[in-house]
Amino acid sequence: MKKVTISALQKQKQNNQKITALTAYDASFAMMFDEQGIDVLLVGDSLGMVLNGQDDTLQVTVADIAYHTRAVRRGTERAFVIADMPFMSYASAQDSYQNAAQLMAAGASMVKIEGGRWLCDTVTGLVQRGVPVCGHLGLTPQSVHVFGGFKVQGREKDKAQQLIDEALALEAAGIQLLVLECVPTELATRVTSALSIPVIGIGAGRFTDGQILVMHDMFGISANYMPKFSKNYMADGGTLRDAVKRYIDDVHAGDFPSDAHSFE
């Protein structure tokens, strides 16, 4: 199977072919997801919660992400691998350059950072230095204490317009992918239509260019809780591989997420 590239993901958006993504943290699961045909693997700072049992993602370090990125890369032949930049690892542009270099050296094809317009100069600087960037808007878990918890974002009219404006600014600065988390379906649809780059949703409705889930949520084994936007694909039985295939098929068919997994 042909290796997934950013150009291939862009073509999927243009051809209205849904992008499938999962988090992965080790070689074994990465290999299984890869063999089933997943498009994107994210080495997420969610590992702090699902692997270490922490209450949030804030204690995860660059060294943690680099370690798991190396493992995921070893198990991957086809999928596009993205590595999260942890909390405060891109507080300044210079910090972002040094830390992104570590994650790219570990095997990432792209890094992901959370935040809006304030990151535009950092995004441009990273891209100029050869580091592809994925943005992340909506519920950005590293800002959980600013939000006062894990809450849906962009429900108010002014906040929705601000999110759209920030997405456009990030695209102009150079991001090539955008993750939208926990925003109303209608807002996610507007953002997806406004951007020329692929938009991958989690709790953002079915009309984004693709979907991503935390693998532990998809298998129904998260140590914390099952988010509204997730679905336990092991609930109907079968093997782990069967669950991954059902997820991929549902995303391709537009059956996941349903209204029950989305926000209005």
73-83 pLDDT, tens digit per residue, is: 999 999 999 99
If one counts the domains in the chain, the total is 1
**Cβ–Cβ under 8 Å, residues 34 and 76:** yes
Q: Report, as an integer, the average pLDDT of 162-181.
A: 98
Kindly state whether residue 200 falls inside one of the protein's structural domains.
yes
Kindly state whether residue 255 falls inside one of the protein's structural domains.
yes
Which stretches of the chain are DSSP H helices?
A: 6-14, 27-36, 47-50, 62-74, 93-105, 120-128, 144-147, 157-173, 185-194, 215-218, 240-253
Q: Is 11 assigned a ligand-binding role in the annotation? A: no
Kindly state whether residue 18 falls inside one of the protein's structural domains.
yes
Whole-angstrom Cα distance, residue 160 to residue 231?
26
pTM as predicted? 0.95
Q: Is 209 assigned a ligand-binding role in the annotation? A: no
Query: What pLDDT shows up at residue 258?
Result: 95
Q: Is 46 assigned a ligand-binding role in the annotation? A: yes
Give me the active site residues, please. 181
Q: What is the mean pLDDT of the chain?
A: 95
Q: Is 89 assigned a ligand-binding role in the annotation? A: no
Residue 255's nearest CA partner among 30, 20, 35 is 20
Residue 118, Cβ neighbours under 10 Å: how many? 9
Residue 150, Cβ neighbours under 10 Å: how many? 14
4-14 pLDDT, tens digit per residue, is: 999 999 999 99
Domain limits at 107?
Answer: 6-261
Kindly state whether residue 131 falls inside one of the protein's structural domains.
yes
**Cβ–Cβ under 8 Å, residues 211 and 233:** no
Kindly state whether residue 196 falls inside one of the protein's structural domains.
yes
Kindly state whether residue 1 falls inside one of the protein's structural domains.
no
Q: Report, as an integer, the average pLDDT of 30-52.
A: 96
Kindly state whether residue 221 falls inside one of the protein's structural domains.
yes
CATH number at residue 256: 3.20.20.60
Q: Is 166 assigned a ligand-binding role in the annotation? A: no
103-150 pLDDT, tens digit per residue, is: 999 999 999 999 999 999 999 999 999 999 999 999 887 777 666 666
Kindly state whether residue 55 falls inside one of the protein's structural domains.
yes
Query: What pLDDT shows up at residue 143?
Result: 79
Angstrom CA distances, 100 to 88, 122, 157, 193, 197, stand at: 12, 11, 35, 29, 21
